Amino acid sequence: MADSPVPFAASSSRPPLMPLDEAIAVLLAKAQPVLPTESVGTFDADGRVLAQDLVSGLTVPPRDNSAMDGYAVRVADCAAPGAELKVAQRIPAGTVGTLLAPGTAARIFTGAQIPEGADAVVMQEDTAAVPQEGSLGSVRIAIVPAAGQWIRRAGEDVAAGDVVLRKGERLTPAALGLAASVGFDRLQVARKPRVAMLSTGDELVMPGEVAPDAMKPGAIYNSNRFFMRALLYRLGCEVNDLGIVPDNREATVVALRDAAEASDLIITTGGVSVGEEDHIRAALQALGELQLWSLSMKPGKPFAYGSIARSSGQGACHVTGLPGNPVSSFLTFLMLVRPFLLTLQGAARVAPEAVKMRADFDWPRADKRREFLRVRRNAAGGLDLFANQSSGVLTSMVWGDGVVDNPAGRTIKSGELVEFIPFASLLG
């Protein structure tokens, strides 16, 4: 690893490539201690990481109940189609009926408790009401019901004492619903990560500050700041956007030192490759720990992990240094920083999950690095490749709906199965 400043490379040897899985393992081991926890309302817990096992005090549904609007009956009374039964009671949801006498039916509604004695529900559409002045009348049952039909059994969803959600689960809308369904109006979750982000590079200009036709030669708009901020918000982080830091060592040191005080993580983009114009590296070496990795990852080779001790004495702030090229920056965020932020919150499952899909393209040139090829699912159920796989080409991340995770040294022939990671699985 090139971890000391070398004004001009002294030898032609390249730094050895670090396997991506090894880098991720080293990085995730740094996410200790995990963030403190806090209690939040269940309404506000979407996307947060649960810090407790949720044990149900409830059986759901609490008792056998009707899955349909219709009539609760005794199957024995309906041996042939057309049985006519006296409607002896009426059980809306939220009320409790009485013992169903033989030869009678109970008018019942979805969610209402099945009365004792009944062993099936006949849905309304399979019946014909026979009105009768001054009573609930009778009902003709057009079918022969099966025992248990349209009855939702007590405990079918959850039994009392069940762990319905485990510590480390990242909460989704469905999980919030499940927590609520057993009575939890508050949940213990990890505190939101506080993330500071900064970009480096004198060539960077903010959109809106200079019009396209007035851009100086060499100047480029800062795009990393936009997707990075959005990615962090989607991950539920509190974001402190420090903007573009001038390409000099003093400014970089000051920005990093200040940000470390109130952040759990500082994300930098640019300034981590071996060129001497990169001040992030020197600033981090001056302020704390620094590891520089040449990842076996394409796009996305240079990556830095560092930490800065807080002057308050309250632990250290993590730093991840991402490459400046937009696609490299985006993908190293998804593959390394996202799992890191989830681990920091105690999440149990943090790795991107791939599915096998058919490549409808050839990739004839193997690379010594593990590649993340931008692809899009096509109507034929396969994957199409974006023509330009350069790391500067952000259009590939918009055109594509995911990446093929292609091992180092591997070529792809059209028709082969490859590992596809959909962006959708990484954006929430």
Q: Between 157 and 289, name the residue whose CB sits nearer to its own copies.
A: 157
Provide DSSP, 268-326.
Answer: EES--SSSTT-HHHHHHHHHEEEEEEEEEEES--EEEEEEEE-TTSS-EEEEEEE-SSH
Q: Kindly state the smallest distance separating residue 45's Cβ from its own copies, in Å.
A: 9
Q: Kindly state the smallest distance separating residue 371's Cβ from its own copies, in Å.
A: 15
Q: Alpha-carbon distance 62 to 164, whole Å?
A: 15
Check: CB of residue 412 under 8 Å from CB of residue 361. Answer: yes
Q: Alpha-carbon distance 73 to 301, whole Å?
A: 69
Q: Kindly state the smallest distance separating residue 265's Cβ from its own copies, in Å.
A: 17
Q: Between 257 and 279, name the residue whose CB sits nearer to its own copies.
A: 279
Q: Between 22 and 125, name the residue whose CB sits nearer to its own copies.
A: 125
Radius of gyration, alpha carbons of the chain: 31
Q: Kindly state the smallest distance separating residue 315's Cβ from its own copies, in Å.
A: 29
Q: Between 247 and 264, name the residue whose CB sits nearer to its own copies.
A: 247
**Any long-range contacts for 201-207 (C-beta under 8 Å, 24+ apart)?**
201/244, 201/247, 201/270, 201/271, 201/324, 202/246, 202/247, 204/244, 204/270, 206/243, 206/244
Going by the DSSP 8-state scheme, the letter that residue 333 receives in this structure is: I
Q: Between 235 and 283, name the residue whose CB sits nearer to its own copies.
A: 235
Q: Between 93 and 348, name the residue whose CB sits nearer to its own copies.
A: 93
Q: Alpha-carbon distance 359 to 376, whole Å?
A: 10
Q: Alpha-carbon distance 195 to 263, whole Å?
A: 6
Q: Sign (positive/negative) of CA torsion 85, 90, 93, 96?
A: negative
Q: Alpha-carbon distance 326 to 322, whole Å?
A: 10
Say how far residue 396 (Cα) sits from the centre of its chain: 22
Collapsed DSSP state (helix, strand, coil) of residue 352 = coil
Going by the DSSP 8-state scheme, the letter that residue 363 receives in this structure is: B
Q: Kindly state the smallest distance separating residue 419's Cβ from its own copies, in Å.
A: 10
Q: Kindly state the smallest distance separating residue 143's Cβ from its own copies, in Å.
A: 8
Q: Kindly state the smallest distance separating residue 285's Cβ from its own copies, in Å.
A: 18
Q: Between 390 and 414, name the residue whose CB sits nearer to its own copies.
A: 390
Q: Between 76 and 163, name the residue whose CB sits nearer to its own copies.
A: 163
Q: Between 142 and 309, name the residue whose CB sits nearer to its own copies.
A: 142
Q: Kindly state the smallest distance separating residue 70's Cβ from its own copies, in Å.
A: 8
In sequence order, the 6+-apart residues with CB closer than 8 A to the CB of 402 are: 374, 375, 376, 377, 420, 421, 422, 423, 424
Q: Kindly state the smallest distance separating residue 313's Cβ from its own copies, in Å.
A: 34
Q: Kindly state the smallest distance separating residue 357's Cβ from its own copies, in Å.
A: 7
Check: CB of residue 294 under 8 Å from CB of residue 2. Answer: yes
Q: Between 291 and 328, name the residue whose CB sits nearer to its own copies.
A: 328
231: part of which helix (H) or strand (E)? Answer: helix 224-234
Q: Kindly state the smallest distance separating residue 49's Cβ from its own copies, in Å.
A: 15
In sequence order, the 6+-apart residues with CB closer than 8 A to the CB of 333 are: 228, 231, 267, 322
CB count in 10 Å sphere of residue 74: 19
Q: Alpha-carbon distance 24 to 216, whole Å?
A: 39
Q: Between 35 and 182, name the residue whose CB sits nearer to its own copies.
A: 182
